[in-house]
């Protein structure tokens, strides 16, 4: 029932907005369903291949030479699982909304992983030990890269490192994301420019991976004031003064399972508070340089801002 209502909402939304002629996903639902098994299945063959590689390594020690006794059984289960997982991954990719170059690498390395596993299984069955070991260890290495790219696809490339301690970021060569200086004094808080201090950081967190320098999906960039106001391939996405009429807000408010929902399902989503702040910024005219004090937030927005910057909400 809820799903039906959502679908209806989304259809009406489309019909009422002839300017927003999005591409509708044509993939049959059963295939999209099978695709969504990918994140569920994927950890099984990964675990099995890792365990098998470890057992084979340990079996090199004379003391543990029987460690690989169950290799045949592990391969029997892991090989078909790997192939099914790769096929499901490919189906999942048909749903779209992924970073294209990461997806391409992930897809091809996933295929190499499946081919490697099949090769290892065949070599094992036919008694070619050296070739079996070579293909197993090659698959093990490729698997690491494939898994990492898969994680980046669903969670964003900085998922792992975003909250890492400074020294870990240094080792990995990650430049720490610019933090908005937390305004300590109330005066600073009030002087914070709304766009640069509140709105842009939300977009940088949830939109700029796909709407930024590297990728600009739908020719839309959301990484500067000028770009946000310029809009995308279907024109402006922000109508100053009219939040409900702004495509940017409409997309955020669509049900998560709608194909047109932004950010696409599975990607980091802005919180309800952040959406409320975005709407407020648009309602107040979507200007670039006004400070919080100048835009005179109403009580509820003031509370959200105070919460966001960790300032007692009672302060005007």
Q: Which residues bind ligand HEC (CB under 6 A)?
A: 22, 97, 206-207, 209-211, 217-218, 220, 222, 231-234, 237, 247-248, 251-252, 260, 262-264, 267, 270
Q: Please tell me the distance from the alpha carbon of residue 82 to that of residue 88, in angstroms, as a whole number.
A: 10
Rank residues 17 and 191 by Cβ distance to ligand HEC and give the closer one.
17
Cβ-based neighbour number of residue 85 at 10 Å: 24
Sequence-ordered alpha helix ranges (H) in the chain: 2-16, 29-35, 38-41, 43-58, 71-94, 100-125, 129-155, 166-172, 186-191, 194, 200-206, 225-230, 247-253, 272-283, 292-295, 299-308
Rank residues 100 and 294 by Cβ distance to ligand HEC and give the closer one.
100
CB of residue 280 to ligand HEC, shortest distance in Å: 15
Using DSSP's 3-state secondary structure scheme, residue 219 falls into helix
Rank residues 120 and 248 by Cβ distance to ligand HEC and give the closer one.
248
CB of residue 107 to ligand HEC, shortest distance in Å: 16
CB of residue 247 to ligand HEC, shortest distance in Å: 5
Using DSSP's 3-state secondary structure scheme, residue 273 falls into helix
Rank residues 45 and 97 by Cβ distance to ligand HEC and give the closer one.
97
Angle at 304 between CA 301 and CA 308, to 5 degrees: 140
Rank residues 67 and 276 by Cβ distance to ligand HEC and give the closer one.
276
CB of residue 245 to ligand HEC, shortest distance in Å: 12
Q: Please tell me the distance from the alpha carbon of residue 160 to that of residue 153, in angstroms, as a whole number.
A: 12
CB of residue 219 to ligand HEC, shortest distance in Å: 7
CB-closest chain residue to ligand HEC: 232
Peptide bond into 68 cis (omega under 30): no
Residue with tokens 């992924």, as numbered in its chain: 98
Rank residues 188 and 288 by Cβ distance to ligand HEC and give the closer one.
288
CB of residue 230 to ligand HEC, shortest distance in Å: 10
Q: Please tell me the distance from the alpha carbon of residue 245 to that of residue 202, in angstroms, as a whole number.
A: 20
């Amino acid at each position: 029932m809820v799903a039906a209502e959502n679908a209806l909402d989304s259809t009406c939304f489309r019909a009422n907005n002839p300017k927003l002629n999005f591409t509708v996903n044509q993939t049959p639902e059963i295939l999209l369903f099978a695709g969504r098994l990918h994140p569920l299945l994927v950890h099984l063959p990964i675990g099995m291949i890792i365990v098998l590689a470890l057992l084979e390594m340990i079996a090199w020690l004379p003391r543990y030479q029987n460690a690989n006794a169950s290799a045949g059984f592990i391969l029997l289960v892991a090989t078909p699982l790997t192939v099914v997982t790769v096929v499901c991954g490919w189906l999942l990719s048909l749903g779209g909304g992924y970073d294209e170059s990461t997806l391409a690498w992930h897809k091809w390395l996933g295929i190499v992983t499946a081919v490697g596993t099949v090769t290892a299984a065949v070599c094992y069955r036919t008694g070619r030990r050296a070739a079996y070991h070579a293909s197993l260890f090659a698959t093990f290495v490729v698997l690491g890269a494939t898994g990492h790219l898969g994680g980046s696809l669903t969670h964003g490339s900085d998922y792992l490192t975003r909250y890492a301690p400074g020294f870990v970021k240094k080792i990995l060569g990650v430049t720490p994301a610019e933090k908005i200086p937390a305004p300590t004094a109330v005066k600073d808080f009030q002087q914070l420019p709304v766009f640069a201090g509140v709105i842009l950081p939300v977009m940088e967190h949830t939109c700029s991976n796909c709407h930024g320098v590297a990728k600009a999906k739908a020719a839309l960039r959301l990484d500067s004031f000028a770009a946000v106001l310029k809009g995308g391939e279907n024109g402006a996405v922000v109508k100053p003064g009219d939040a409900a009429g702004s495509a940017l807000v409409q997309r955020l408010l669509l049900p998560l399972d709608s194909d047109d929902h932004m950010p696409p399902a599975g990607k980091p989503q802005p919180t309800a508070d952040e959406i409320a702040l975005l709407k407020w910024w648009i309602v107040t005219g979507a200007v670039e340089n006004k400070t919080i004090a100048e835009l005179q937030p109403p009580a509820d927005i003031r509370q959200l801002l105070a919460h966001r910057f960790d300032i007692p909400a009672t302060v005007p």
